[in-house]
Amino acid sequence: MVNPSGRKPIMALYSGTDCLYSHGCRIVLFEKEVECQIIYVDDDRPSEELAELNPYNEAPTLLDRDLVLYGAQIINEYLDERLPHPPLMPVDPVNRGRARLMMARVRRDWLAPLIGCQDAIRPEVKRIRSSVRDGLISISPLFREQAYMLGEEFSLVDCFVAPLLWRLQSWEIELPRQAKPVLDYAQRVFQKSSFSSSLSEVERELR
């Protein structure tokens, strides 16, 4: 996504190499086919450059000319408004509200607990994995009727869910047979060029 001519892009994303939220932002960037420099940062080595842009010194952080944004949902919605093709959010306010609620629930119920697994004790890790597995099983019937989270069109909600699905094996979360529609959905997303292009070297080695 860096211009081969060497001209500095107007947009840059500071991204973790294995970060659920950063991964989602990278999917959006490649879906939009925008010229953007992706700068990978090491969580174990705080970046002075990033600290100057983001008071929390955390990825993802987006730099667009003089604008600095952080927080995955803020970044993704900004990109969708800034680069309207292809649209990744519904046009009408009711369905946009539903999409935002779905993203909030994915983040609160699945992503945040899984990220917290690193510091949790073994029984708590097992509980979190079971909760995520049961949640994915519960939404499985959805994909018998539609291709993606909001319907037939790929959306920002899918950009939140896809990084989670890619990491199921590394988190030792195994879905049963009744969750096959979810696994079929995952394969549809993984086959998208925007998803395969979004993967860091670290993430490619997770499967």
User: Mean pLDDT, to the nearest integer, of 180-203?
Assistant: 97
pLDDT at 207: 86
Based on the domain organization, do 79 and 110 belong to the same domain? no
pLDDT at 85: 93
H or E segment at 37?
Answer: strand 37-41
Nearest-CA neighbor of 105 among 147, 55, 68, 160?
160
Based on the domain organization, do 188 and 200 belong to the same domain? no
Band of the pLDDT at 119, cuts 50, 70, 90? low
Cβ neighbour number for residue 96 with a 10 Å cutoff: 14
Is 3 part of a structural domain of the chain?
A: no
pLDDT at 10: 80
* Rounded Cα distance, 112 and 129, in Å: 12
Reply yes or no on whether the pLDDT at 29 is more than 80: yes
Most confident of 22-26, 53-57, 117-121: 22-26
pLDDT at 4: 36
Reply yes or no on whether the pLDDT at 102 is more than 50: yes
CB 39 within 8 A of CB 15: yes
Based on the domain organization, do 157 and 126 belong to the same domain? yes
Q: Look at the alpha carbons of 51, 11, 97, 187 in this order and tell me if their dihedral is positive or negative.
A: negative
CATH code of 33's domain: 3.40.30.10
Q: Is the peptide bond before 4 cis (omega within 30 degrees of 0)?
A: no
Per the structure, how many domains does the chain have?
2
- Identify the three-state secondary structure at position 41: strand
Band of the pLDDT at 5, cuts 50, 70, 90? very low
Is 1 part of a structural domain of the chain?
A: no
Based on the domain organization, do 46 and 135 belong to the same domain? no
CB 93 within 8 A of CB 101: no
Q: What is the mean pLDDT of the chain?
A: 92
Q: Could you tell me which residues come within 8 angstroms of residue 32 by beta carbon, excluding any fewer than 6 positions away? A: 79, 80, 83, 85, 86
Percent of the chain as helix, strand, coil, to the nearest 5? 55, 10, 35
* Rounded Cα distance, 25 and 11, in Å: 13
Reply yes or no on whether the pLDDT at 46 is more than 80: no
pLDDT at 123: 83
For residue 69, the 8-state DSSP code is E
Query: Per residue in 156-172, is it b (16+ CB within 10 Å) or e — as a string?
Result: bbbbbbbbbbbbbeebe
User: Mean pLDDT, to the nearest integer, of 68-91?
Assistant: 96
Is 163 part of a structural domain of the chain?
A: yes
* Rounded Cα distance, 111 and 20, in Å: 7
Q: pTM higher than 0.85 for the full model?
A: yes
Reply yes or no on whether the pLDDT at 100 is more than 70: yes
Based on the domain organization, do 100 and 181 belong to the same domain? yes
Based on the domain organization, do 78 and 97 belong to the same domain? no
pLDDT at 160: 95
Domain that holds residue 22: 11-87+196-204
User: Mean pLDDT, to the nearest integer, of 149-178?
Assistant: 96
CATH code of 102's domain: 1.20.1050.10
Is 4 part of a structural domain of the chain?
A: no
Based on the domain organization, do 66 and 40 belong to the same domain? yes
Reply yes or no on whether the pLDDT at 57 is more than 80: yes
